[in-house]
Amino acid sequence: MMTEEPHVKIHNLKRRTAREMANLTRFSTLLDTFEDSTSLDDFEQYRGRLQETLDRLISLDDAIKALLSDDEYEEDIKACE
pLDDT-derived band at 8, boundaries 50, 70, 90: confident
Alpha carbon distance, N-terminus to C-terminus of the chain: 38
pTM given for the model? 0.72
Exposure on the CB side of residue 70, measured as CA atoms within 13 A: 0
The runs of H, that is alpha helices, within the chain are 6-33, 40-67, 70-80
CA-nearest of 13, 16, 17, 19 to 64 is: 13
pLDDT higher for 73 or 55? 55
Residue 2 has pLDDT above 90, yes or no: no
- Dihedral of CA atoms 62, 63, 64, 69 in degrees, nearest 10, equals 90
The residue-averaged pLDDT of 38-54 equals 90
